[in-house]
Amino acid sequence: MEQFIELHDTTLVSVTNTGHETQVELLAMLHRSPNDPEKHTVWLQLVILSLSVSKFTPPPADLPLWIADGFLRLNDVVHENVIPDIREFQGDIELAVVLVSSESWTVRADALQIKYVGEPKFLEKFPACPISSMDHNVVTVNIRHVTHCQSCLKQSVQVKYNYELS
pLDDT 10s digits, 23-33:
999 999 999 98
Omega into 59 within 30° of 0, i.e. cis?
A: no
pLDDT 10s digits, 15-67:
999 888 999 999 999 999 877 656 788 999 999 999 998 778 899 989 999 99
148: CB partners within 8 A, 6+ apart? 42, 124, 126, 127
Query: Is the model more confident about 153 or about 75?
Result: 75
Give the confidence band of 160 by pLDDT, cuts at 50, 70, 90. Answer: very low
CA separation for the pair 68, 12 (Å, rounded): 10
pLDDT at 56: 80
CA separation for the pair 24, 3 (Å, rounded): 19
CA separation for the pair 12, 59 (Å, rounded): 10
pLDDT 10s digits, 94-132:
999 999 999 999 999 999 999 999 999 998 887 654 544
Query: Is the model more confident about 114 or about 137?
Result: 114
Name the pTM for this structure. Answer: 0.74
